[in-house]
């Protein structure tokens, strides 16, 4: 071995530094105060672990008998005596000392209250919506005891055994104080000799989840909890959340201010000083599908990953369900925020991101994988889970290969179109009023006889499955963790209960639309106009002067990928537009109240435009559309020669191409007694053209 290093550990930082040095040519002696501190340290030929507390004199003797090139202090932020002794011993022996600090406590003189606040924010304070009723910051255990002496109620002290004597100064301490310490025989005996025994002494080994902390507070009826600002690694957030939920005050002993370097800087200096291979410890991120919610439904692969990791990230709901794993938690699910946190907190080398259900079914895993896959030093693994749809259909004893799967969670979903067309439609919801919205849309679309099966809080203890129709369920609130299966035995396609439900083409009968006295583009003219519009999937369509909405409805029903904006200024027509949209259940049709072109200003650029009424603003409308998209496709319906004159001038002055003008004269037959008479409609000019930017050979 070329050089020797002395590492004082017992913390997460100490373990990670030992892992960095393991397997190298640097012989490393690791010292921990307790047997508990040895847990998790690597086993390697160049690593030797020693257990037991050393005073300054013993440190001087140790340093004199070893040829150390460097001493590393990676002890707990509150192990002030150890750090003082190490600093003094190194100064007396001339050995270089590296002090590694935990995040939030690196700024000497700032006061550790500021550091702890920053750390809480970084660690995902959003895990609880509640605030701690009384949160008091003090400088020492003695100050904590002095403050609590002026309060009432029982106290749970979680600062360890070494400082318990300070709390004996509190009046009535024998009945008020409950101490939580490590379950080591010597510590339990020491506490008993000091008067802490029986139900007032809780000997347990962490880490402790929020739920367990809360249960302890409630079991002893604690009004106060005493803790150190030990950061994420010390479970500070879990204690804080527990105090908030239990309604207990929190007395926080600030970290002592001191000089030192971050764990990241320590890695860099060690790599440079000892020419260590590689850059840093390899980090792994597992995107774990956690199933519907019950821990029993975790896959064995997921369970092993969660047990072995040193951080669990994910939404608050999912991370709380995994609290029994006892891991530090970062309550966040947004990809960019997660990536930023992982970059800033390299002390976490084995990370699990918990994804509800299955990673491949309406999960954030895909976006997060895309953000992480090019991150240096990270290996990304996706561990699929049991999906909610899989579990739900299994509970119903039903196959789901013929079901259409959709999500309403944070998005608009054109589910009515699927319900009409398919026998089974499965919906993920995300709000308590989602069922009401579903029922309203089904009833408005005339789908009154479909059967809804509701699955709430699936796999959890209070799971509930119920059935009903849109009419019977329209006023019911549901849990936000709910799925809905809609079964339509009469599924075929269109609103009208005839064989024509199977139509895939446009050209719906005029009588299917609610009309009143509002103008409507008649069926035959509508068919020709739509064919001239040359719609494509993904098109953004303006229907200017939408009237009853017959053009808008025809466009929207062709594909869920088409977005239609029905622009109308008259209130009577707007009311009919709402009714016809609901009648056909079209989520991709948006009604815009106002006069064009002003009403188009805030809309996305149109790829296709139908103009049935322009209120004298024809030229301005065309120019406004072309200013956003110079390749837009237009179809205009006109019935007067004056409007045709304006149109003729427009197509010769604006940058347009592929101009085509057709006059359509439709003559129908109507019955008059025993005879049938021809009945002609007013002739209509159908003008189509494209913005010149498209060119003649460009597909529209």
Are both 570 and 476 inside the same structural domain? no
Looking at 295-335, which runs of residues are DSSP E strands? 311-314, 329-331
Mean pLDDT to the nearest integer, 657-665? 92
Give the per-residue pLDDT at 220. Answer: 94
Q: How confident is the model at residue 666 (pLDDT cuts 50, 70, 90)?
A: confident
Q: How confident is the model at residue 667 (pLDDT cuts 50, 70, 90)?
A: confident
Is 259 a domain residue?
no
Domain boundary among 318, 345, 377: 377
Mean pLDDT to the nearest integer, 604-617? 92
State both tokens at 131: 């605030």
Are both 526 and 637 inside the same structural domain? yes
State both tokens at 419: 């319900």
Phi, psi of 631 (to 5 degrees): -110, 15
| Average of per-residue pLDDT values in the chain | 86
Q: Is the pLDDT of residue 120 over 50?
A: no
Share of the chain above pLDDT 90, in %: 53
Give the per-residue pLDDT at 477. Answer: 86
Chain segment 452-471, per-residue pLDDT in tens = 999 999 999 899 999 999 99
Q: How confident is the model at residue 498 (pLDDT cuts 50, 70, 90)?
A: very low
Domain boundary among 336, 357, 377: 377
Q: Is the pLDDT of residue 583 over 90?
A: no
> 312: which residues sit within 8 A by CB, 6+ positions away?
306, 319, 322, 325, 327, 328, 329, 330, 351, 352, 353, 354
Does 61 or 414 have the greater pLDDT score?
Answer: 61
Q: Is the pLDDT of residue 698 over 50?
A: no
CATH number for the domain spanning 354: value is 3.40.1010.10
CATH number for the domain spanning 589: value is 3.40.50.150
State both tokens at 598: 């002003």
pTM of this structure:
0.53
378-383/311-314 β-pairing: unpaired
Are both 248 and 298 inside the same structural domain? no
Is 216 a domain residue?
yes
Are both 443 and 533 inside the same structural domain? no
Q: How confident is the model at residue 696 (pLDDT cuts 50, 70, 90)?
A: very low
Q: Which helix (H) or strand (E) holds 437?
A: helix 434-444
Is 661 a domain residue?
yes
Are both 458 and 415 inside the same structural domain? yes
Chain segment 623-653, per-residue pLDDT in tens = 999 999 999 999 999 988 888 888 998 988 8
Q: Which of 71, 74, 110 is nearest to 90 (CA)?
A: 71
Alpha helices (H) in 589-633, listed in sequence order: 618-628
Does 6 or 681 have the greater pLDDT score?
Answer: 6
Distance of alpha carbon 24 from alpha carbon 271, whole angstroms: 11
Distance of alpha carbon 476 from alpha carbon 478, whole angstroms: 7
Are both 75 and 161 inside the same structural domain? no
Give the per-residue pLDDT at 500. Answer: 43
Taking a C-beta distance cutoff of 8 angstroms, is the pair 177, 196 a contact? yes
Residue 652: other Cβ atoms inside 10 A: 9
Share of the chain above pLDDT 70, in %: 91
Does 144 or 40 have the greater pLDDT score?
Answer: 144
Are both 219 and 364 inside the same structural domain? no
Residue 588 Cα distances to 555, 564, 591, angstroms = 10, 6, 10
Q: Which helix (H) or strand (E) holds 5?
A: strand 3-8
Give the per-residue pLDDT at 406. Answer: 92
Does 667 or 392 have the greater pLDDT score?
Answer: 392
Q: Which of 58, 73, 63 is nearest to 93 (CA)?
A: 63
Distance of alpha carbon 315 from alpha carbon 364, whole angstroms: 11
45-54, 499-508, 668-677: the lowest-pLDDT one: 499-508
Edge-to-edge strand ranges of the sheet holding 97-99: 47-51, 26-32, 3-8, 68-73, 97-99
25-29, 99-103, 574-578, 594-598: the lowest-pLDDT one: 99-103
Give the per-residue pLDDT at 117. Answer: 33
Does 693 or 176 have the greater pLDDT score?
Answer: 176
Does 529 or 79 have the greater pLDDT score?
Answer: 529
Q: Which of 643, 567, 647 is nearest to 609 (CA)?
A: 567
Does 486 or 161 have the greater pLDDT score?
Answer: 486
Does 256 or 515 have the greater pLDDT score?
Answer: 515
Give the end-to-end CA distance of the chain in Å, rounded to a whole number.
72
424-428/482-487 β-pairing: antiparallel
> 642: which residues sit within 8 A by CB, 6+ positions away?
none
Taking a C-beta distance cutoff of 8 angstroms, is the pair 232, 259 a contact? no
Q: Which of 533, 494, 527 is nearest to 512 (CA)?
A: 494
Chain segment 334-346, per-residue pLDDT in tens = 999 999 999 888 8
Chain segment 321-331, per-residue pLDDT in tens = 898 888 888 99
Taking a C-beta distance cutoff of 8 angstroms, is the pair 338, 313 a contact? yes
Give the per-residue pLDDT at 482. Answer: 92
Residue by residue, DSSP assigns 313-329 as EE-HHHHHHTGGG---E
Question: What one-character DSSP code corresponds to residue 165?
Answer: G
Are both 393 and 336 inside the same structural domain? no
Domain boundary among 53, 74, 101: 101
Mean pLDDT to the nearest integer, 439-457? 91
Taking a C-beta distance cutoff of 8 angstroms, is the pair 312, 290 a contact? no
Is 679 a domain residue?
yes
Mean pLDDT to the nearest integer, 467-489? 91
Residue 350 Cα distances to 188, 366, 382, angstroms = 33, 19, 14
Give the per-residue pLDDT at 347. Answer: 79
Is 442 a domain residue?
yes
Are both 568 and 673 inside the same structural domain? yes
Is 339 a domain residue?
yes
Are both 436 and 297 inside the same structural domain? no
Q: How confident is the model at residue 697 (pLDDT cuts 50, 70, 90)?
A: very low
34-38, 498-502, 535-539: the lowest-pLDDT one: 498-502
Chain segment 386-421, per-residue pLDDT in tens = 999 999 999 999 999 999 999 988 777 778 888 988
155-169, 350-364, 545-559, 658-672: the lowest-pLDDT one: 658-672
Q: Is the pLDDT of residue 606 over 90?
A: yes
Give the per-residue pLDDT at 119. Answer: 38
State both tokens at 647: 């149109």
3-state secondary structure 346-381: CCCCEEEEEECECCCCCCCHHHHHHHHCCCCCEEEE
Give the per-residue pLDDT at 656. Answer: 92
Is 382 a domain residue?
no
Give the per-residue pLDDT at 232. Answer: 65
Which domain does 167 fall in, by range? 112-253
Are both 249 and 326 inside the same structural domain? no
Give the per-residue pLDDT at 452. Answer: 96
Question: What one-character DSSP code corresponds to residue 332?
Answer: B
CATH number for the domain spanning 209: value is 3.40.50
3-state secondary structure 253-276: ECCCCCCCECHHHHHHHHHHHHCC
Distance of alpha carbon 444 from alpha carbon 487, whole angstroms: 17
Mean pLDDT to the nearest integer, 92-109? 69
Are both 512 and 483 inside the same structural domain? no
Give the per-residue pLDDT at 233. Answer: 64
Residue by residue, DSSP assigns 221-258 as TEEEEEEE--TTTTTHHHHHHHHHHHT-EEEEEPPPP-
Is 478 a domain residue?
yes
Give the per-residue pLDDT at 495. Answer: 46
Residue 422 Cα distances to 118, 227, 399, 401, 448, angstroms = 52, 58, 14, 12, 15
In the chain, the number of structural domains is 5
Q: Is the pLDDT of residue 492 over 70?
A: no
Give the per-residue pLDDT at 502. Answer: 56
Instruction: Compute the 3-state secondary structure of the chain and give helix, strand, coil in percent, each to the nearest 5.
Output: 35, 25, 40
**CA atoms in the 13 A half-sphere facing the CB of 511:** 1
């Amino acid at each position: 071995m070329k050089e020797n290093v002395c590492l004082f550990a017992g913390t997460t930082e100490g373990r990670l530094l030992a892992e960095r040095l393991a397997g190298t040519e640097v012989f490393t002696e690791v010292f921990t105060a307790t047997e508990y501190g040895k847990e998790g340290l690597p086993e390697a030929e160049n690593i030797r672990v020693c257990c037991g507390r050393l005073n300054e004199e013993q440190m001087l003797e140790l340093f004199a008998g070893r040829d150390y090139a460097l001493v590393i202090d990676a002890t707990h932020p509150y192990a002030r005596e150890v750090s003082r002794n190490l600093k003094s011993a190194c100064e007396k022996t001339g050995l270089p000392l590296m002090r590694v600090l935990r995040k939030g406590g690196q700024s000497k003189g700032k006061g550790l209250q500021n550091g702890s606040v920053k750390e809480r924010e970084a660690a995902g304070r959003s895990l609880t919506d509640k605030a701690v009723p009384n949160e008091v910051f003090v400088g020492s255990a003695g100050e904590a005891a002095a403050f609590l002496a002026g309060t009432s109620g029982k106290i749970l002290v979680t600062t360890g055994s070494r400082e318990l004597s300070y709390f004996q100064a509190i009046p009535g301490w024998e009945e008020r104080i409950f101490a939580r310490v490590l379950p080591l025989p010597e510590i339990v005996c020491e506490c008993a000799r000091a008067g802490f025994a029986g139900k007032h002494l809780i000997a347990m080994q962490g880490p402790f989840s929020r739920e367990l902390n809360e249960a302890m507070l409630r079991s002893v009826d604690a009004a106060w909890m005493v803790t150190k600002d030990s950061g994420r690694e010390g479970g500070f957030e879990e204690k804080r959340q527990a105090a908030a939920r239990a309604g207990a005050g929190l007395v926080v002993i600030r970290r002592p201010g001191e000089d030192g370097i971050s764990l990241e800087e320590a890695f860099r200096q060690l790599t440079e000083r000892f020419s260590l291979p590689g850059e840093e410890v390899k980090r792994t991120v597992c995107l774990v599908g956690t199933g519907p919610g019950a821990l029993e439904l975790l896959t064995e692969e997921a369970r092993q990953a969660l047990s072995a990791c040193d951080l669990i990230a994910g939404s608050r709901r999912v991370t709380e369900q995994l609290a029994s794993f006892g891991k530090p938690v970062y309550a966040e699910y947004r990809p960019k925020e997660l990536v930023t946190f992982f970059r800033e907190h390299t002390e976490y080398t084995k990370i699990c991101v918990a994804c509800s259900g299955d990673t491949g079914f309406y999960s954030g895993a895909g976006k997060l994988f895309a953000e992480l896959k090019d991150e240096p030093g990270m290996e990304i693994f996706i561990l699929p889970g049991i999906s909610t749809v899989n579990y739900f259909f299994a509970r119903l004893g039903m196959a789901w290969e013929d079901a259409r799967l959709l999500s309403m969670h944070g998005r608009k979903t054109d589910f009515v179109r699927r319900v009409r067309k398919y026998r089974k439609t499965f919906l993920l919801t995300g709000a308590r009023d989602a069922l009401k919205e579903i029922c309203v849309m089904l009833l408005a679309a005339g789908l009154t006889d479909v059967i809804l099966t509701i699955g709430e809080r699936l796999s959890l203890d209070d799971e509930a499955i119920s059935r009903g129709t849109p009419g019977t369920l329209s006023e019911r609130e549901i849990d936000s963790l709910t799925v809905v299966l809609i079964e339509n035995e009469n599924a075929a396609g269109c609103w009208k209960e005839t064989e024509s439900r199977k139509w895939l083409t446009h050209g719906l009968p005029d009588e299917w639309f609610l009309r009143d006295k509002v103008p409507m583009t008649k069926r035959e003219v509508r068919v020709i106009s739509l064919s001239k519009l040359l719609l494509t999937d993904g098109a953004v369509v303006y229907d200017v002067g939408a009237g009853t909405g017959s053009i808008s409805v025809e466009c929207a029903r062709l594909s869920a990928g088409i977005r239609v904006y029905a622009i109308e200024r008259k209130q009577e027509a707007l009311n009919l537009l709402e009714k016809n949209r609901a009648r056909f259940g079209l989520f991709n049709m948006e009604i815009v109240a106002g006069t064009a072109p002003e009403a188009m200003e805030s809309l996305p650029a149109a790829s296709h435009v139908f103009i049935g009424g322009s209120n004298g603003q024809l030229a301005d409308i065309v120019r406004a559309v072309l200013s956003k998209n110079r390749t837009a496709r237009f179809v205009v319906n006109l019935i007067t020669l004056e409007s045709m004159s304006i149109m003729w001038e427009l197509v010769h002055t604006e940058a347009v191409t592929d101009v085509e003008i057709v006059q359509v004269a439709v003559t129908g037959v109507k019955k008059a007694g025993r005879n049938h008479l021809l009945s002609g409609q007013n002739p209509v000019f159908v003008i189509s053209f494209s913005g010149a930017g498209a060119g003649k050979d460009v597909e529209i």
